[in-house]
Amino acid sequence: MPDVTIATWNINSVRPRLGLVLAYLRERRPDILCLQEIKATEDVFPFEPIRAAGWEHIAMAGFKGYNGVATLSRIPFAGSGVTHWCGREDGRHVWVALEGNVELHNLYVPAGGDTPDPGLNDKFAHKLDFLAAMTDWCARIRSPRARRILVGDLNIAPLECDVWNHGRLLKEVSHTPVEVEAMERLRRAHDWTDAVRRFRPAPEKLYSWWSYRARDWSASDKGRRLDHVWVAPALAGKLKSAEIHRHVRGWDKASDHCPVSVTLDLPA
């Protein structure tokens, strides 16, 4: 199963942006597309047009109104399932097994609200609890032979060059020291490789999200890199390329996130 391309994209509601999903699938032809924040349950998810386009295999953890993740694939799944975190069934993690004992985990980490204080903001407390639970999970399942890939909107920009202005955003949720430190503990727990930074290392500025508030998002370029692809050590040497599809953010009625993709020579 060589040269498999996996993309991740917070679509910010799949039904009104179905046309954009199909356009991206036609343009880039990823083998697998992992969507977050689909804002749809299984009974209203647009299975038929996606399958008709050629992505016949779909695994999802739906949720009504917000959240929800879905993995769309041209490659059959050997298995799939949903994982719940922090005692909540809120559609944040779906996993699939691929040929060659490869696991692909599609995650949507809580955004955390506006106030970076867990004592004052339950949403921020939930985010930190979620990251801690994931870290414990990674430590339990860690193995040098594990063929795992973790993708999704992790809602943290970890590096200074992952935000448009490090100094100004240190007190903004998604780039606070407590979040960055929690994310690094999570990464180290499984020795994940940041696939995009492997090919485009710091200090290059990289973003995957731009606020709707900007009148001209591209000109102001006040972005953050919130969307990530991580691979386990057994797959790090199989990485061939990585891309951030910035132009998709400029499509009509686009999500505030753009897709991020990697290509790997996956082992058989």
For 190, phi then psi, to 5°, come to -125, 5
**β pairing state of 69-73 and 32-36:** antiparallel
State the sign of the Cα–Cα–Cα–Cα dihedral 211, 214, 217, 221: negative
Q: Cα angle vertex 154, ends 226, 88, to 5°?
A: 145
Residue 65's pLDDT is 85
Residue with tokens 């430190």: 181
* Residue ranges with strand state E in 11-101: 32-36, 57-61, 69-73, 79-82, 93-98
Q: List the domains of the chain with CATH numbers.
A: 4-264 (3.60.10.10)
Q: Helices (DSSP H) in 29-121: which residue ranges?
A: 47-52
Residue 2's pLDDT is 75
Question: How far is it, in rounded angstroms, from Cα 191 to Cα 144?
Answer: 9
pLDDT tens track for 96-154: 999 989 999 999 999 999 999 999 999 999 999 999 999 999 999 999 999 999 999 99
Say if pTM beats, i.e. exceeds, 0.95: yes
Q: Which residues pair with 58 in a beta bridge?
A: 72
